[in-house]
Amino acid sequence: MSSSGSNPPAEASSKTSPSKTAVPPQRSTIAESPLQTHGHPFLRKLQSGGLSATGSSAFSTTADNGSSNNNSGRKSVDEAIAAVAAESVGDKSPTAAAASAAEIMINRRLHQQSLDNAADPGTSSTAQGSAHVHSHDGGCCSTATTGEAQKHTYEYVSDHESFDLESAKLPPISAEARRFTDQLLGQNKTWAAKVEMERPGFFARLEKQQSPQVLWIGCSDSRVPANQIVNMDPGEIFVHRNIANVVTHTDMNLLSVLEYAVTVLKVRHIIVCGHYGCGGVAASLTQKQYGVIDNWLRNIKDLYTIHRKKFDALPHGGTEQQDLLTELNVIQSALNVCHTSIIQKAWSRGEELSIHGWCYRLSDGRIRNLGLCIEGPGNVEDVYHVQKP
């Protein structure tokens, strides 16, 4: 392709004489590529030559004098991107909202740190004397030395009620979103106050340690909360949940949780708990398409295929087949936990670790023990064993 005789944008090189003036970039007459048309605004502007080049280059990661800006007015890459983003991203876009929220939180933390430094007699004289507290565009706090900051009216508390979001120039939210937020945060405040009143010092103790004895692998279903159905407090169960409590050897999320629970938290029990009436299991018995989840449910469909004759012997259209598949899925997932190198290595080190298979019934709130409890490599096929280090 050609550009109809127009000169391409000139880029200054290291051989360019300092006395010569750099040729400003010209907009190419070549038709815009899909990247230019549909890509990020910054890329479109960069490719179309909308960013002027001064000095030896339009962008420079380091200026001649070691600072981000030199005497020739060159911008660093970060500054150039920020400048284009400021022009391209609207004030009400999600990107701008996230940036504003992040800036607010950062400024609050920095301001609180300044207050802490000023109040701490061991801080340096520089921090106490000349350090400045930077203001936010929303007017949350004005510029002042840290000595003055002790008397500043800026409120910083970890409680959400002190966050002055109205003056932060964030995009407006709907009445429904505000009502939802206020309701849940209000409920949290009531719950926390009730727990603290009934058990003084509970959260202070909880903050200092996490030493659960149980890893719970359950379904994401909102009706099966791990702590509540076994009547245990926060901090007593380490939880991983996914659709239909499936355990596979390629799920890095689950494997990361499992390794942390076993090697760091030193849990003693791992519970795989399914529940009757699971929507994921029910969907696995159909030929309907639901989306990405179809690939996930393939693991349960495979179980149905393996045990097809057993399912054919049960009544069709009722809950019998679904309940059986729910139980088989729990058993297979518990076995898959045992087969992981994480568990095999823990057993080879002599660690006491038990894997359980349970099923919860929504209709009465009771858990059924499926009778599966594996406490060592002796109950697992030899091929999964690992040699001692």
d(CA 134, CA 189): 31
223, 249, 308, 366: the catalytic one is 223
Q: Which of 275, 323, 338, 359 is catalytic?
A: 275
- pLDDT grade, residue 169 (50/70/90)? low
Mean of all residue pLDDT scores within the chain:
76
Of 270, 371, 280, give the one whose Cα is nearest residue 325: 280
Q: Which of 219, 273, 338, 359 is catalytic?
A: 219
pLDDT for res 107: 80
- pTM strictly above 0.75: no
3-state secondary structure of 35: helix
* Residue-wise pLDDT tens digits, 190-241: 999 999 999 999 999 999 878 899 999 999 999 999 999 999 999 999 999 9
By mean pLDDT, which of 17-21, 122-126, 128-132, 298-302 is the weakest?
A: 128-132
| Under 8 Å between Cβ of 387 and 341 | no
Residue 89 Cα distances to 95, 98, 226, 259, angstroms: 7, 12, 42, 41
Task: Find the mean pLDDT for residues 173-185.
Answer: 91
- Predicted confidence at residue 383, as pLDDT, reads 86
Is the distance from CB of 147 to CB of 129 less than 8 angstroms? Answer: yes
* β-sheet with 269-276: strand ranges across: 237-242, 214-219, 269-276, 354-361, 366-374
Is 278 annotated in some ligand binding site?
Answer: yes
- The pLDDT assigned to 110 comes to 82
Strands (E), the chain: 132-133, 144-145, 214-219, 237-242, 269-276, 354-361, 366-374
Sign of the Cα torsion 237, 242, 246, 251 reads: negative
* pLDDT (0 to 100) of residue 334: 96
Taking residues 270-296, report their average pLDDT.
Answer: 96
Give the H/E segment covering residue 279.
helix 279-284
DSSP 169: T
Q: How much is the average pLDDT of 78-82?
A: 67
- Is 128 in a helix, a strand, or coil? helix
278 as an active site residue: the answer is yes
140 catalytic, yes or no? no
The span from the CA of 153 to the CA of 139, in Å, is 12
3-state secondary structure of 188: helix
Distances, alpha carbon 105 to alpha carbons 139, 144, 156, 165, in Å:
14, 19, 10, 11
d(CA 62, CA 28): 28
Q: Is 316 annotated as a binding residue?
A: no
**C-alpha to C-alpha distance for 130 and 384, rounded to whole angstroms:** 64
Domains, the chain, with CATH or none = 34-88 (no CATH), 94-168 (no CATH), 210-384 (3.40.1050.10)
Q: Which two tokens stand for residue 327?
A: 């139980």
Please state, in angstroms and rounded to a whole number, the distance separating the CA atoms of residues 151 and 187. 33
Whether residue 195 contacts residue 205, with contact meaning beta carbons closer than 8 Å, is answered with: no
Residues 140, 141, 273, 278: which is the catalytic one? 278
Strand, helix or coil at 355? strand
Q: Which of 95-104, 136-145, 357-366 has the lowest mean pLDDT?
A: 136-145
65 versus 189: the higher-pLDDT residue is 189
Q: Tokens for 348, please give them.
A: 């080879």
Report the C-alpha dihedral over residues 225, 243, 321, 373, rounded to 10 degrees. Answer: -60
To the question of whether residue 219 is assigned a binding role by annotation, the answer is yes
pLDDT band at 7 (very low <50, low <70, confident <90, very high): low
* Token pair 């594996």 in the structure block, residue: 374
Residue 116: band (very low, low, confident or very high) from pLDDT cuts 50, 70, 90: confident
State the catalytic residue, choosing from 44, 108, 111, 221.
Answer: 221
- Residue 223 annotated in active site: yes
- Does residue 338 have a pLDDT over 80? yes
